[in-house]
Chains A and B, each alone.
Chain A
Amino acid sequence: MKSLYLAFVGLLVGCGKKLEVENHYYSLVLEAAEGQPPAEPVAPKARVDLVAVDLPDFLRSRSLVLQVNTNEVLHARYHHWGEPLDIAVQKVLARDLSNALPKLEVAPGPGREADCTIALELDRFHASNSAQVLVSGRFVYTQHDQVTRREFDVSQVQEGDGYTSAVSGMRRALGALSRELASVVGACTPKPAE
């Protein structure tokens, strides 16, 4: 009986080694995207909080998503985000906005005394089999009591095969989104003193 269990242990070890597919983990780089050289820091005048990035259910897991046809998405088994996607997107956009708008203080997450807030809802943030990285959704910009809601679709062409190229495309898409946000958020002014 014991030899049977030894064989069982050997089987476990053998099976463990048999798995040849490796796991891959990806992150969205924080450096400024192409065409966006970091600006010189100046004294901030207004504060913008990127309060939330809301994801659809199918994007909430760590697995990267591939849209295989119009109505079907597939979660990769061996390609994962290195950190929760909403946090990663929040940090990247905050960095890009900070670089683009040096007069503003842009921070990820809700904070106190924010002059303006941005809430992001992503509908798509994944690769597809049509050689495109699909990034679309809407953002809600709040400045004082004014609320601006705008749809965006910053899908990019995926330049190469594989998930690495897909993630690069997503990073470029976020850069495009940050530019679009900057055009809106750039008008943020400090709250008037009460």
Chain B
Amino acid sequence: MSDDPTPSASPDAAEPAAAAPMANVEHIHRWSPVWLVPLAAFGIAMWMVYQHYVGQGPLIQVRFENAEGIEPGKTRIRTKNVEVGEVLGMQLSEGAESVLLSVRIHKENAHLLREDSSFWIVRPRVNALSVTGLGTLLSGAYIEMAPGLLDKAARTFEGLDAPPSTPIGTPGLHIVLESSEGKRLHEGTPLMFGGMEAGKIEDVQFDPERRRTRYDAFIVQPYDRLITENTRFWFNSGVAVDVSADGARLEFGTLETIASGGVSFGVPEGQELGPRITVDYVSFEVYPHEGAIYERIYAQALEYILLADRSIRGLQPGAPVEYRGVKVGEVLRTDIDYEEKVRLLEPDSRIPILFKIEPGRLGYGDTEEESKQAADRIATLIRRGLHGEVKITNYLTGAQIIDLQHRPRRPNRLSEFASYPVIPATEGRVDQLLVLLERTVRKINDVPLDDVTEETLETLVKAQETLEHYERLASHYSAGSEPHRELVRSLSTLERTLAEVTPLIRQLREQPNSVVVGPRGEPDPEPTGAVP
């Protein structure tokens, strides 16, 4: 240990030798490991934020007309009863026309958000066809999402008022049905083929320009193969009553069609099926009833006026115009609202009936050129006596039609009413019968029956005297001679004729009204025999 250096005072350090030792200061140049703790915490936090952001799924906006039953934070988004998201918030649009919902879709379901994805609020719904959404009475409303199929993704959507009739992606054919009869179908109304449901109405719109109702419909596979160019659609009446000359017929459809009406389709018997329709949204006309599908639709029509001087009760727009029982057109209007004023209640007033004749039904081609030919020919026929008669065809319902007929003895002059050519009206047979009956009744009323019977009896007595006179005259001829035989034969005939008339005169005297109501119906008393 002697080798250990001992601190000694040097000449330079003699004075502060007694001073405190100097601290050996060392500079530390590295980070403290403790700082890793907050750093790690921050990193973890940032990682969690990132994970949360990345994992929460897309935020979308869905616009609804009404947000009834929707509660942010509670209302869920479901697809096939699987929760795929939730409503985070909602706010009114700028003009308060609609409600904007902020919806978070789970990340794993984000791929379902396509341009054609659809959303609708599931609430209790009751209509003629079904009752749905009753479960939401307890659980509250939720939003159903139908995944889209398009490639392009989307983040804003228009919510539907009601569930789509056809799920997206259902194989089939979209068609358009048009009608001039106003709204007779609703969304979800079935399209029937042979009593089987082949599709549904998806949307109903009204075109104010064309004044026609448009129905978007969807035909599911395999029924879409039935849609061809010659397919016809008609409204189901559910209950059909047909009263005709053959009697009355009552037909009931299925319960579904009775409740909702619906549309049926098919190809008219006797027609070819035609090429199949494979393109979506081809338009078809909806006929008012099944019988109407057999009527061909003509493009060309000539319009005429018939001025009726009798009641047109029972003559409705759409009533047929016939020639010898064949339909050649139909009635268009029976009102009096024309440029040329009609004054009813005037004794000579006539009611204008606007009707059309379709040249195609007359044997002409359905072209403009042939339509002009038909118009010229009809003008000639009018001059030669073509008339129209408002005729009752069904005495039970009072339904009337216009019957065109030739009256060669009554040629006409061409005339117009409100720029329409006029086909003159003629009296119907019933009218003629009524006029005849009226005259007959008047004559019968004018006949003094009592006087007539008395006078006739007197005449008979005189005739009898005359006969006897002629019999005496006949006696002057030699018996068996030709004049004698002829005279006797004539007298005999006359005598028998008088004998025939006598009971009638007697009957008239006893029962003057027997000619009209027939003799009294009591049977004759009969002779009794020895052996009954």
| Residues of A that sit less than 8 Å from B by CB | 2, 5-6, 8-9, 12, 15-16, 18-21, 60-63, 66, 68, 74-79, 84, 110-114, 127-129, 131, 157-163, 165-166
Q: In the complex the two chains form, is B526's CB within 8 Å of A5's CB? A: no
Q: List 19 A-B contacts (CB under 8 A).
A: A5-B441, A8-B437, A9-B433, A12-B516, A18-B521, A19-B518, A19-B521, A21-B523, A60-B499, A61-B503, A62-B500, A63-B503, A84-B496, A131-B527, A131-B529, A158-B528, A161-B528, A161-B529, A166-B527
Question: Does B20 touch A at the CB level, under 8 Å?
Answer: no
Q: In the complex the two chains form, is B524's CB within 8 Å of A78's CB? A: yes
A61-B500, A62-B503, A159-B529 known, 4 other contacts, Cβ within 8 Å = A9-B433, A113-B480, A160-B529, A166-B527
State the CA gap A74–B179 with chains docked (Å): 76
State the CA gap A128–B500 with chains docked (Å): 23
- B524, chain A: closest CB distance, angstroms: 4
Q: In the complex the two chains form, is B499's CB within 8 Å of A158's CB? A: no
Q: In the complex the two chains form, is B529's CB within 8 Å of A162's CB? A: yes
State the CA gap A16–B480 with chains docked (Å): 48
B residues less than 8 Å from A165 (CB atoms): 527, 529
| Interface residues as binary, B405-447 with A (CB distance below 8 Å gives 1, 0 otherwise) | 0000000000000000000000000000110011001000000
| Residues of B that sit less than 8 Å from A by CB | 433-434, 437-438, 441, 479-480, 485, 488, 495-496, 499-500, 502-503, 507, 516-519, 521-532
SS class, residues of chain A in contact with chain B? mixed
User: Which listed residue (A20, A110, A161) contacts B527, Cβ 8 A?
Assistant: A161
State the CA gap A149–B519 with chains docked (Å): 43
Question: Quick one: given A5-B434, A131-B530, A159-B529, are A20 and B503 in contact (CB under 8 Å)?
Answer: no
User: Which listed residue (B516, B517, B532) contacts A160, Cβ 8 A?
Assistant: B532
What 9 pairs between A and B have smallest CB-CB spacing? A127-B527, A160-B529, A131-B530, A76-B524, A158-B529, A112-B480, A60-B499, A161-B529, A15-B517
Q: In the complex the two chains form, is A61's CB within 8 Å of B434's CB? A: no
Among B488, B507, B523, B529, residue most surrounded by chain A Cβ atoms (within 10 Å): B529
Q: In the complex the two chains form, is B527's CB within 8 Å of A5's CB? A: no
Q: In the complex the two chains form, is A79's CB within 8 Å of B525's CB? A: no
Q: In the complex the two chains form, is B480's CB within 8 Å of A163's CB? A: no
CB nearest to A9 among chain B residues: B437
A residues less than 8 Å from B480 (CB atoms): 110-114
User: Which listed residue (B507, B519, B525, B528) contacts A131, Cβ 8 A?
Assistant: B528
A residues less than 8 Å from B527 (CB atoms): 66, 127-129, 131, 158, 161-163, 165-166
User: Which listed residue (A6, A110, A131, A162) contacts B479, Cβ 8 A?
Assistant: A110
Q: In the complex the two chains form, is B499's CB within 8 Å of A77's CB? A: no
A residues less than 8 Å from B499 (CB atoms): 60-62, 84
Q: In the complex the two chains form, is A5's CB within 8 Å of B529's CB? A: no
Q: In the complex the two chains form, is A159's CB within 8 Å of B525's CB? A: no
CB nearest to A68 among chain B residues: B525
B residues less than 8 Å from A6 (CB atoms): 434
- A148, chain B: closest CB distance, angstroms: 19
- B473, chain A: closest CB distance, angstroms: 16
A residues less than 8 Å from B522 (CB atoms): 21
B residues less than 8 Å from A12 (CB atoms): 516-517
CB nearest to B311 among chain A residues: A2
B residues less than 8 Å from A63 (CB atoms): 503
State the CA gap A79–B522 with chains docked (Å): 13
State the CA gap A144–B448 with chains docked (Å): 56
Q: In the complex the two chains form, is A61's CB within 8 Å of B526's CB? A: no
CB nearest to B519 among chain A residues: A77
- B389, chain A: closest CB distance, angstroms: 15
Q: In the complex the two chains form, is A74's CB within 8 Å of B532's CB? A: no
- B347, chain A: closest CB distance, angstroms: 15
State the CA gap A9–B527 with chains docked (Å): 37
A residues less than 8 Å from B525 (CB atoms): 66, 68, 74
State the CA gap A63–B500 with chains docked (Å): 9
State the CA gap A163–B528 with chains docked (Å): 9
CB nearest to B495 among chain A residues: A60
User: Which listed residue (A5, A61, A128, A158) contacts B438, Cβ 8 A?
Assistant: A5
State the CA gap A111–B531 with chains docked (Å): 43
State the CA gap A113–B488 with chains docked (Å): 18
Question: Quick one: given A61-B503, A160-B532, A165-B529, are A16 and B524 in contact (CB under 8 Å)?
Answer: no
- B76, chain A: closest CB distance, angstroms: 70
Q: In the complex the two chains form, is B488's CB within 8 Å of A110's CB? A: yes
Q: In the complex the two chains form, is B434's CB within 8 Å of A2's CB? A: yes
State the CA gap A139–B402 with chains docked (Å): 72
State the CA gap A166–B438 with chains docked (Å): 46
Question: Quick one: given A19-B518, A110-B485, are A158 and B526 in contact (CB under 8 Å)?
Answer: no
Q: In the complex the two chains form, is B528's CB within 8 Å of A15's CB? A: no
Q: In the complex the two chains form, is B531's CB within 8 Å of A159's CB? A: yes
B residues less than 8 Å from A75 (CB atoms): 503
B residues less than 8 Å from A60 (CB atoms): 495, 499, 502
State the CA gap A113–B522 with chains docked (Å): 51
State the CA gap A161–B531 with chains docked (Å): 7
- B505, chain A: closest CB distance, angstroms: 11
CB nearest to A67 among chain B residues: B527
State the CA gap A157–B500 with chains docked (Å): 30
CB nearest to A133 among chain B residues: B527
A residues less than 8 Å from B502 (CB atoms): 60-61
Q: In the complex the two chains form, is A161's CB within 8 Å of B532's CB? A: yes
User: Which listed residue (B437, B516, B521, B524) contacts A20, Cβ 8 A?
Assistant: B521
State the CA gap A15–B511 with chains docked (Å): 15
State the CA gap A5–B517 with chains docked (Å): 15
State the CA gap A128–B532 with chains docked (Å): 14
Q: In the complex the two chains form, is A79's CB within 8 Å of B524's CB? A: yes
State the CA gap A114–B480 with chains docked (Å): 9
A residues less than 8 Å from B507 (CB atoms): 77
Q: In the complex the two chains form, is B441's CB within 8 Å of A8's CB? A: yes
B residues less than 8 Å from A111 (CB atoms): 480
State the CA gap A18–B519 with chains docked (Å): 11
CB nearest to A166 among chain B residues: B527
State the CA gap A77–B524 with chains docked (Å): 6
CB nearest to B504 among chain A residues: A61
- B464, chain A: closest CB distance, angstroms: 9
A residues less than 8 Å from B529 (CB atoms): 131, 158-162, 165
